[in-house]
A and B are shown apart, each in its own frame.
Chain A
Amino acid sequence: MMDGGSTIPGYSVALEWVKNLFSRTIKSSNCVPKHIGFVMDGNRRYARKNEIEIKEGHEAGFSSLSQVLELCYEAGVDTATVFAFSIENFRRTPSEVDHLMRLAREKIRQITQHGEIAEKYGVRIRVIGDVSRLHKSVYDDIVATTELTKSNTRATLNICFPYTSREEMLHSIKDVIAGGKKSGEINEASIERSLYTGDDPPLDLLIRTSGVTRLSDFLLWQVSERGVVIELFDCLWPEFGPMKMAWALLKFAFRKTFSDKENELEDDDGVLENQDDLYIKKTL
């Protein structure tokens, strides 16, 4: 969709304008998800499908991600958590793992650069997961770059690298025990606080692409909470892009507005007939 229009003069300006207008509009609904999780699935399949190298597939995935994130932050999303690399991904071929490491390093550096997302939207970037598994040089580099964004407070980007949710829960359990609390003082909140996402607002929305209906060890603790919306898309991640993200935001806001309004209406006037009530509830 971008390719066809990019030759028309002023196209990108118009696109930018539409994007800004849309995000402001969505923002005014006060029903924007505070915390979104992304499983970026399908980069390699995209590469195979379009007969390009796997490397380029990952590149395309990154460009899709940065556009999606811009839209989200513009619309007032507080935290985005993206699944960049699973601990299980170490099983892939060494050359691909190598490439993914290099890509992550490069891209994290890129988004923290002057004028990029981190500065534009005041995003604090964190790398979460079992970072001890990373190569020393990669780790040092990542720490050095993310340190630069530490003082940003408007929004957060969590990059899960390398991450699995079970490892996160295990880490949290150990953390709580190591904290030396008495067993009576340990509760759900203390474990939740010790998760990598402990400081972030609770997860509202999980987005997964490429039509797979599994969580694949991503944010299990957070997603299993009652009321978290799970959106699965059939397209591959590089094809996801801001349009589908906008759709997901609209859907979320619509649903939330009406499920809240519904309760309010019931409170102040009970005139809605039962059948209609039921109908509205079902369509939401």
Chain B
Amino acid sequence: MNVIGESVQTRSGRDEIGPVASGRVPPPEASVLRNGLTRSKAHMVQAVTKSVMLDDDQEMIERKLKRLSQEKSLFDRKTSKIQFLMCKVLLMIMYLIYGFYRYFQYEYNRMKLKLLNIMYNPSNTPQLIRQDVNKLKKIPKRLAAILEMKSASYVGGGVKGLMNDGSELVCWTVSAGIKHLILYDYDGVLKNNVQDFRKEIRAKLGKYYGPSNVPKYAIRIPHLNKIYFNDEDDATSNGKNKVAIEVSLLSNRDGRETIVDLTRTMADLCAANELKLSNITMKLVDKELTHLVGPEPDLLLYFGPALDLQGFPPWHIRLTELHWEEDNDDVVYSVFIRGLQKYSACKINVGK
């Protein structure tokens, strides 16, 4: 502790604390960033200085007030303030260095993603996807994907963009020969627009397979216990076994809230003496939740820059393999196929 105190004191002697608040000169890294790199970096620097200065201003006022009231312990307080300020300055330097590094990392990741997108380009042909998938040793039985709705002002944003992403994924999954797909979006936008989504899927599949050759599909909304086959309104027309893909639409509602619902139901049953507490086992809960939400997926794809599960049903991600690409922001085929590749290489040994 003393070592720090001393070093901070000697350093602060060089730095002069007073001017820091009003006319702070940023360290050399800042000026490099400000002049050399893009403007956005300069904004970052601004943000840092702003945060530091904000604290300093309050501190100055505080210090003045205290100086007026108490002259005695001024020295002690001053040293601790100086220490704190030093930490802030150091923090800023660390942020700058990290920000610098992060900038290059970001550029590198984006470049990598661009190259991958060129390498893996299905261009609406199921055969190409088949070729990619046939090389793999094993493929997941159930695939899940977390989708996010982007702001409507961007290209590929809004409800339309989300449905486009979702239906694209359905096509890839069908082409890869995977029979179950779970599409998760936090707010349940896909669920609420299920009729439009059905049409969108049909149109997309038509593009991949030709309009006369559209594979059969079923859309399931477990929460409402509804199933839609192809885009006909009559739910019983087609045999359930014949579909090429079953798409489950989930949202935040199917996560924790469903577990709460189950608890409520079981509490009622227990209160009515129809269920004993000792009969509530892992097997029972698992069975019920599988019934209410669906089985656990083998692979979960996330198309955002840093993994965020966004309330995905917690019971259902026990051994799920997670895949996302750092700094990626779009639903692209390269993430999909690389996820499958990763899954085919992974080895799951429970407990061992």
Contact = CB atoms under 8 A, between A and B. Distances in A.
A250 B97 CA distance: 11
Contacts of A261: 47, 50-51
Contacts of A258: 44, 47
Contacts of A220: 314-315, 317-318
B264 interface: yes
A253 B319 CA distance: 29
B327 A169 contact: no
B314 A282 contact: no
A177 B266 CA distance: 8
Contacts of B352: 91-92
Interface residues of A, number: 66
A187 interface: yes
B249 to A, nearest CB: 18
A193 interface: no
Interface in B279-314: 280-282, 285-286, 305-314
Interface string A206-237: 00000011111100110111111110000000
Contacts of A280: 40, 43-44
Q: State the majority secondary structure of interface residues on A.
A: helix
Interface string A169-211: 1100110111001111011100100000000000000000000
Contact of B267 (A186, A230, A262, A282): A186
Contacts of B91: 25-26, 28-29, 253
A263 to B, nearest CB: 11
Contact of B282 (A166, A228, A272, A282): A166
B351 A88 contact: yes
Given A224-B313, A280-B44, A216 B39 contact: no
A25 B94 contact: yes
Contacts of A119: none
B40 A279 contact: yes
B336 to A, nearest CB: 15
A228 B87 contact: no
A265 B44 CA distance: 11
A230 B267 CA distance: 34
A221 B313 CA distance: 8
B208 to A, nearest CB: 29
A272 B267 CA distance: 53
B264 A226 contact: no
Interface in B89-140: 90-91, 94-95, 98-99, 102-103, 106
Contacts of A91: 350-352
B186 interface: yes
B308 A227 contact: yes
23 contacts: A17-B7, A26-B91, A27-B87, A86-B351, A166-B315, A170-B280, A170-B285, A177-B280, A182-B271, A191-B260, A213-B322, A214-B322, A214-B348, A216-B318, A224-B256, A224-B311, A226-B310, A228-B309, A254-B99, A257-B47, A258-B47, A279-B38, A283-B40
Interface of B: 1, 3-4, 7, 38-40, 43-44, 47-48, 50-51, 83-84, 87-88, 90-91, 94-95, 98-99, 102-103, 106, 186, 255-257, 259-260, 262-268, 270-271, 277, 280-282, 285-286, 305-315, 317-323, 327, 329, 342, 346, 348, 350-352
Interface of A: 13, 17, 20-21, 24-29, 86-92, 165-167, 169-170, 173-174, 176-178, 181-184, 186-188, 191, 212-217, 220-221, 223-230, 250-251, 253-254, 257-258, 261-262, 265, 272, 276, 279-280, 282-283
Given A177-B266, A178-B277, A282-B305, 6 more contacts: A17-B3, A20-B4, A173-B262, A177-B270, A184-B264, A250-B98
